[in-house]
Amino acid sequence: MPGTRTGLRLRITLPLAIAGLIALACLAVLGVNYLNSTATLRELAYGLMTQASDQTFDKTLAHLGSAERLLRLNAAAAKPPLFCIDYSHALAQRDRIRQLGNLLSLHLEEMQVNPLLASAFLADEDGNFFMAKRMPDGSVSSQFLVRRDASPACAAVAARARELVRAGQSEWAARLLAPCLEAVWLHRDLAGSVQRRVRDPLETLDPRTRPWYLAAKAAGRLAWTAVYPVNAEGDPGIAAAVPVYSGDRLLGALGLDIALKDLSLFLKDLRVGANGRAFIATTAGELVAFPDLSQLMSGAGEDARPNTLDRVADPLAAGAWAALRAETGAGDGQPVRLIEPTPLAYTAGGRRCLAVFAPFPDRYGWPWLVGVAAPEDDFLGHVRQTSIIMVGASAAFTLLAILLGLRMSRRITEPLTALAEEARRIRDFDLDHAPLVESPFREIRRMADSFENMKAGLRSFRKYVPAKLVRLLLDSGLEAELGGDTVETADTAED
């Protein structure tokens, strides 16, 4: 007699199998859709950041390009008498004064038209200096510095005078400087009329040692300085200067200070996603323009210096800079070298972030980079939220499939269980039981009908073979077969 067999229960296996197939199908579709959407949106994010980078390029070129063109025009218009060093020649002196007046008028007009100009200036090889400077109230003042004695002795006097000023002996310093140079300021009102003429007896400036003059002299053409404070308030700016020659002889240089604050204000208004930002930095990491003006410079006043990306209190920008250095292999103190826009993916502040760095073309002479950085969620957050919703919906549908599968499996297993019980009764030759088997499935109904037909046949067989004999045969575990045993019996009959 066969033993009881163990196996999977259809009532549980069927709904779990259906739910598992549904879950696998949903996960496969969601996974492919998420990967495709993520890749597409990441490319779109890089495209948007590149677009923001291009806008920053255009703004910078418009900001500085006009100043460069203006400076070249001024240099082309400059004539040798403007830089004449022969003070003993009365005609040359008059020509020089006349051209300085013309240049002053030109600079005043330029600064009224172009609010980006912080100052305009010129210097010659003897150290004479002229400057028109925008003041905090918007007016323009002029400074004239004339060296009466350009000998090395007066250079030593200037150094000694600076020491005396630091020591609090300003009066003695002024006495030392008086034979060597004279500095005068002309202060104007907003209409351009001179209101005050102030002599500065302690001025020791030597323009020939200033970065803009040295850069123009060394380059022999238009040159740009690094970012530095262009006024007493410490506002960042940059200087452009161009040398002026008479033949092969250097006469001096013309220069402009261009304020960079407007660039930072432009970057502050530039939208890059919900939380992204753009910035400009040198290839060494010094900030040129940054949306947060409070972090652009370190220090205060004229002693302020540009902040650096590795020290800025902005994890997004600092992380982007660290990722760029790692990507390019730039070591400590080495500038980053880029040829084309470079996309990056990195982690900052526990968030995945994206960034694009693009170099300024070499022809402009600015060793700068435009950086654009944003959290990845600004672009992919919606996809992730949608994916989470879809996973939740898939889980709900899977649970619903399990519930429906359990109901369906019950409609299958309950009739099958009843038929199995009926088969056990038939084995015991209990043919009088009439179970009620209902099922919406045609196959199960046909099986129940077959059982009824089999029972009808067995009931007919029971008329010829006693049911008790059949049960005994089944209980013995033997199969019924033709044959028998011969048994001798004693004849007890009497004649």
**pLDDT of residue 412 exceeding 60:** yes
Instruction: Name the helix (H) or strand (E) containing 195.
Output: strand 194-199
Taking residues 342-356, report their average pLDDT. 86
**Cα–Cα distance between 357 and 355 in angstroms, integer?**
7
The mean-pLDDT minimum among 67-81, 159-173, 235-249, 443-457 falls in 67-81
Work out the widest C-alpha separation in the chain, in whole angstroms. 189
Taking residues 126-142, report their average pLDDT. 84
Token pair listed for 288? 């040129």
Model pLDDT, residue 87? 39
Give CA 223 to chain center in angstroms.
32
Contacts (Cβ under 8 Å, ≥6 apart) of 246: 80, 83
Model pLDDT, residue 247? 81
| Contact in structure between 241 and 258 (CB atoms under 8 Å) | no
Give CA 172 to chain center in angstroms.
58
Which pLDDT band, with edges at 50, 70 and 90, does 360 fall under? confident
Taking alpha carbons only, the member of 267, 284, 359 closest to residue 321 is: 284
Share of the chain above pLDDT 90, in %: 4
**Cα–Cα distance between 40 and 331 in angstroms, integer?**
34
Taking residues 251-265, report their average pLDDT. 86
**pLDDT of residue 397 exceeding 50:** yes
**pLDDT of residue 81 exceeding 60:** no
Taking residues 212-220, report their average pLDDT. 91
**Cα–Cα distance between 326 and 336 in angstroms, integer?**
10
- pLDDT tens across 167-194, in order? 888 888 888 888 888 888 888 888 878 8
Token pair listed for 434? 């009439």
Model pLDDT, residue 89? 43
Select the more confidently predicted residue: 274 or 7: 274
Taking residues 350-363, report their average pLDDT. 86
**pLDDT of residue 91 exceeding 60:** no
- pLDDT tens across 277-292, in order? 889 999 999 999 899 8
Taking residues 316-329, report their average pLDDT. 90
Model pLDDT, residue 214? 93
Contacts (Cβ under 8 Å, ≥6 apart) of 240: 64, 67, 68, 71, 212, 222, 223, 224, 225, 255, 256, 258
In terms of C-beta density within 10 A (0-12 exposed, 13-18 middle, 19 or more buried), how is residue 138 classed?
Answer: exposed
Which pLDDT band, with edges at 50, 70 and 90, does 213 fall under? very high
Taking alpha carbons only, the member of 183, 179, 134, 186 closest to residue 160 is: 179
**pLDDT of residue 76 exceeding 90:** no
Taking residues 324-346, report their average pLDDT. 86
Contacts (Cβ under 8 Å, ≥6 apart) of 230: 118, 119, 236, 237, 239, 257, 258, 259
**Cα–Cα distance between 220 and 245 in angstroms, integer?**
9
Strand ranges (DSSP E) for 47-157?
117-124, 129-134, 140-147
**pLDDT of residue 156 exceeding 70:** yes
Share of the chain above pLDDT 70, in %: 73
Model pLDDT, residue 269? 87
Which pLDDT band, with edges at 50, 70 and 90, does 321 fall under? very high
